[in-house]
Amino acid sequence: MPESRSNAPLVWIDCEMTGLDLSKDTIMSLACFITDAQLNLLDETGYECVLQHSQEQLNAMGEWCQNHHGASGLTQACLNCTTTAETAATELLEYIQKFIPDRKQGLLAGNT
């Protein structure tokens, strides 16, 4: 079978979470960069966002997240932030559409 390669742009997304339980944990911050198929950045700045969280939400994090995000300053940034998840989703989509205007053309990339 011949090898097939896509020429589609790649949408790289990284998220910091309150934990790993998808039924209760939420995104604290996210970053997005877009590359072409040869991994050249299309925009050096990318998109980054911290999302608003209440003290109650952050207190519900497990010990590892409390220690790690507390030490990095992310916990405090979430408390100081006014960006909602809905606003972040809209901004992220607008950012991606600047570089990939046609639906179903970009490939999601990143790590687990």
Digit-coded pLDDT (tens) for 19-42: 999 999 999 999 999 999 999 999
CA angle 91, 76, 84 (to 5 degrees): 25
The pLDDT of residue 1: 64
Could you give the domains of the chain? Answer: 10-109 (3.30.420.10)
Report residue 19: phi and psi, to 5°: 170, -170
Q: What is the C-alpha to C-alpha distance for residues 49 and 31, in angstroms, rounded to an integer?
A: 7
pTM over 0.75: yes
Query: How do beta strands 27-35 and 47-50 pair?
Result: antiparallel
